[in-house]
Amino acid sequence: MMLCLLCATLVRGQDEPKLFSPSALLSAPAKEAEHTFADMVHFRDKTFALASWFYVGAYAADMITTQQTFNRCPVCVEGGSLANGQRNVGKLSLEWGGVGTANLVIAHAWKAHVHSRFLHALWGTGLAYEGTNHVRAAYHNAGFSRSVVITVN
């Protein structure tokens, strides 16, 4: 009897569709990123598009002023938690670009999929916080280009 039950379970398990697929797990962030960038470019959600482009502008201002500061100040280095002590602007741009992209995708996914009245309103918190940090860093870089440490966080 136990053998029949075991065989029935094994056969039944083969007929059922998979509930977990590793490829689906890996493709979900890529699909969300695709939707995020499409909404940014086509302005389907104007509030998200404007917030995300302001965030991208703050990031760009930070990277441009960091490069200008590094060109003027040979002893200046990046400060903060992510790339403390670096002077390679290309590497800094890639690292902060990855963080920025993840921040945009998370904000977009939050806005699209969180339906709680109180939690839905928090979709732009990460963009506002990190965008403010980039604006502050750009201001610091442009105004205090002779200082030794450039803060990003």
- Residue 90 inside a domain? The answer is yes
What's the pLDDT score for residue 146?
Answer: 52
- Residue 17 inside a domain? The answer is no
What's the pLDDT score for residue 152?
Answer: 54
Q: Quote the percentage of the chain above a pLDDT of 70.
A: 76
**Measuring CA to CA, how many Å separate 9 from each of 16, 17, 18, 21, 102?**
11, 14, 15, 21, 42
Decide if pLDDT at 110 tops 80: yes
Q: pTM of the full predicted structure?
A: 0.74
Decide if pLDDT at 3 tops 70: no
- Residue 116 inside a domain? The answer is yes
Radius of gyration in angstroms for the set of CA atoms belonging to the chain, rounded to a whole number: 23
- Residue 63 inside a domain? The answer is yes
- Domain range for 80 is 44-151
- Residue 128 inside a domain? The answer is yes
What is the number of structural domains in the chain?
1
